[in-house]
Amino acid sequence: MRGLIALLAAASLLVPVPALAAPEPPRTGFELTGNWTTEAEEQAYLRATGLPVSTIGTTAQGRPVQLVRVGPSSARTVVLFICSQHGDEPAGREACLIRMRSLPRSSSVTYLFVPNANPDGRVLDTRGNSDGIDINRDHLLLRSAEARAMASVIRDWKPDVIHDLHEFGPTAPYYVKDVLWLWPRNLNVADGVHSLSETLSRSYIRPSVEAAGRTSGVYGIYVDPVTGEPIRQVAGDHQERILRNTGGLKHGMGLLVETNVDGTPVYRVDSHLKALDGTQSFVRDRRAAIEAANAASRSVRTGPLYFGGADNQAPDPSDVLTTPPCGYVVTGAQYREVSDELALHGIKSQYLRGGDRIVPLKQEGRALVPLLLDARADGPLLAAQPAAQC
């Protein structure tokens, strides 16, 4: 009898035990209700993901600007997603919140998200922040807390790719694509960074969204609906203050992606998700080339600099600094006025006798220095004195 009992006991160990069901992943307010995720829902969602979240700035109305990290903090390749700089363009924020939970947390890529780049504008449903500043026109002068927060992230993390998510209102009959995209057009962006940024737009974002049945095209150009020929440029120029260009000037592949607000909310969010797929594929396929282009961009110390023109528009000769100065001299008083902004841009200076300082061009921020300190620039921080010798 004892043998039979032992046999039955052993057999019972072979009975399969039902596996515990995997916990349901957190869901955004948009996924749960079909309405845009609220401020409270966003914070609850971020807590539920268990991802590292840090506060990188505080808005004028006291709301946090947050950074979410997915993946290791020390990966060689860093990708930064800036979501909904304009408060009345919510689809990009929703796509970022959804995508962050599905990315691998252990990989050779660090993914960073600023999931809500304009918290006050989101609550107010306005393009600008609570002070009326268009944050995407403030990445040079850094007058807003939001732009300053993003500048600190770019300085500290040195992202290889900066993917900026927006939405646009269609202008019939020309501006009617589902998804528009654009690379840095500023002529001061290093050739390799410019070329790969355009490759990202044309060869990765475009096929990714079009494979999902979306129409797409270059942002900022009216295209004749019959001939398909461009009619005129209406937006997306060379301005260094726009994040797409600033990112390129700071040695990252810059990219703007815009979805059409005439689509349903689900369609708009999904369009952004398809574009995010394209950026992830680009990083996977081109990592070595990306790293090489960014390294080459950081090492540039010679060559002309430009105050105007774009990759699709020749600069006026007066806007070309053929023989740049050695640097720019700022007085002690001027330096105290702009030292925070220079530091946020990662621009270095050297002390001179008498309390003045010189900002040399021979540094990683070379392309930005004249745009910040030369009187010929379009809205510089200040008009400093060019120096022939350092």
Q: How many other C-beta atoms can be found within 10 angstroms of the C-beta atom of residue 191? A: 12
pLDDT of residue 320: 98
For β-strands 179-182 and 216-218, DSSP reports them as: parallel
Catalytic residue among 94, 258, 291, 364: 258
pLDDT of residue 20: 62
* Secondary structure (3-state) at 314: coil
Which fold would CATH assign to domain 34-298? Aminopeptidase (3.40.630)
Give the start-to-end residue ranges of the domains of the chain: 34-298, 324-387
pLDDT of residue 229: 82
Q: What is the DSSP string of 44-112?
A: HHHHHHT--EEEEEE-TTSPEEEEEEES-TT-SEEEEEEE-SSTT--HHHHHHHHHHTTS-SSSSEEEE
Q: Is 240 a known active-site residue?
A: no
pLDDT of residue 18: 54
CA–CA separation, 77 and 109 (whole Å): 5
Bridge partners for 114 per DSSP: 82
258 within 8 A of 181, measured Cβ to Cβ: yes
Q: What is the DSSP string of 140-187?
A: TT--SHHHHHHHHHHHHH--SEEEEEEEE--BTTTB--SEEEE----T
pLDDT digits (tens), the chain, 390 positions: 444 444 444 444 444 545 566 678 999 999 999 999 999 999 999 999 999 999 999 999 999 999 999 999 999 999 999 999 999 999 999 999 999 999 999 989 999 999 999 999 999 999 999 999 999 999 999 999 999 999 999 999 999 999 999 999 988 777 889 999 999 999 999 999 999 999 999 999 999 999 999 999 999 888 887 887 888 878 778 899 999 999 999 999 989 999 999 999 999 999 999 999 999 999 999 999 999 999 999 999 999 999 999 999 999 999 999 999 999 999 999 999 999 999 999 999 999 988 999 999 999 999 999 999 999 999 999 999 999 888
For residue 26, whether the previous peptide bond is cis, meaning omega lies within 30 degrees of 0, is no
pLDDT of residue 333: 95
